[in-house]
Amino acid sequence: AVVNLDNSVVDLETLQALYENRAQSDELEKIEKHSKASKEKENARSLDKPEQFLYELSLIPNFSERVFCILFQSTFSESICSIRRKLELLQKLCETLKNGSGVMQVLGLVLAFGNYMNGGNRTRGQADGFGLDILPKLKDVKSSDNSRSLLSYIVSYYLRNFDEDAGKEQCIFPLPDPQDLFQASQMKFEDFQKDLRKMKKDLRVCETEAAKVYQLSLEEHLQPFKDSMEQF
């Protein structure tokens, strides 16, 4: 199944487990040494089942190299797509925050009401902009009778004066989706770079391991592995 790339017999999850539990070179050396010694002695103890299993795994032509390449190939597209989806979400959000008409209108209202409320104060009135750190505080600014916040007033004002579809099914939220914003806020370029560096490193290892299989395998054991890896 490993040589023929037959996942119906040994699925990828099982292959991963086999790869992680394969015999290391020093372990294999001891197993082979014991196996050889057993053949030369009468009544020698045979290998226990786990050691016998590891020994038989090692008899599969270039087992370790093959399985590394198969597993890497199986996860490569998914890993790249995951990074691409995150970056596309981040890019879309940046474009919306920079150019979205709904964002402009909502932030414009915040500035206009802020300027109006500070109109009687020469040192603080008529600002050309505001710090983003004031946005979470809008809910804390209350009306004189304490019945509503500045945030709820801005929302109702927007719906009354800017949104023609307010109250209808086709009404669209004017700002980016909060869940998308939260996801984007957790993203770090360092993480993207780290993931891509690891994929690049593993890709080079995959090329090296595949070359070993081409070089060391018998002709009858080369296909379909060689065609699959070269295409990949």
Together in a domain, 16 and 61: yes
Confidence of residue 124 (pLDDT cuts 50, 70, 90): low
Q: Looking at residues 198-215, what average pLDDT do you find?
A: 94
What is the pLDDT, as a whole number, of residue 121?
Answer: 63
Tell me, yes or no, whether 213 lies in a domain.
Answer: yes
Could you tell me the pLDDT band of residue 21, with boundaries at 50, 70 and 90? confident
Residue 206 is assigned to a structural domain of this protein: yes
Contact yes or no for 65/217 (Cβ under 8 A):
no
Is the bond into 50 cis (omega within 30 degrees of 0)?
no
pLDDT on residue 190: 96
C-beta neighbour count of 103 within 10 angstroms: 15
Q: Does 16 fall in a domain?
A: yes
- Both 181 and 198 in one domain: the answer is no
Instruction: Determine the pLDDT at residue 36.
Output: 74
Same domain (yes/no): 175, 198: no
Residue 45 lies in a domain: yes
Q: With respect to residue 225, please indicate whether it lies within any of the assigned structural domains.
A: yes
pLDDT > 70 in the chain, percent: 95
**50 plus 10 within the same structural domain:** yes
Q: Are both 149 and 200 inside the same structural domain? A: no
**Distance between CA 11 and CA 67 in Å, rounded?**
11
Helical spans, DSSP H, in 100-177: 101-117, 150-161
Whether residue 222 sits in one domain with residue 148: no
79 falls within a domain: yes
> What is the 8-class DSSP label of residue 11?
-
- Ramachandran region, residue 133 (left: φ > 0; alpha: ψ -120 to 50; beta: rest): alpha
Q: Are residues 181 and 215 in the same domain?
A: no
pLDDT (tens digit per residue) in 90-105: 999 999 999 999 999 9
User: How far, in whole angstroms, is CA 69 from its chain's centroid?
Assistant: 20
> What average pLDDT does the segment 170-175 reach?
90
Confidence (pLDDT) at 147:
92
- In which domain, by residue range, is 42 found? 2-87+190-231
**Same domain, residue pair 66 and 109:** no
**Residues 83 and 9 grouped into a single domain:** yes
When divided into structural domains, the chain yields a total of 2
Residues 118 and 154 reside in one and the same domain? yes
172 and 145 belong to one structural domain: yes
What is the pLDDT at residue 179? 94
Please tell me the distance from the alpha carbon of residue 115 to that of residue 127, in angstroms, as a whole number.
Answer: 6
Q: What is the pLDDT of residues 63-80, one digit of tens each?
A: 889 999 999 999 999 999
Tally the C-alpha atoms within 13 A of residue 83's C-alpha that lie toward its C-beta. 17
Task: Identify whether the C-beta of residue 157 lies closer than 8 Å to the C-beta of residue 109.
Answer: yes
pLDDT, residue 120, reads 65
The answer to whether position 8 is within a domain reads yes
Radius of gyration for the chain, computed over Cα atoms and rounded to the nearest angstrom: 32
Name the residue with higher pLDDT: 212 or 129: 212
Higher per-residue confidence, 165 vs 119: 165
Instruction: Please give the pLDDT value at position 44.
Output: 64
Whether residue 83 is found in the same domain as residue 195: yes
Helix axes 25-40, 49-58, angle to 10 degrees: 110
Does a structural domain hold residue 92?
no
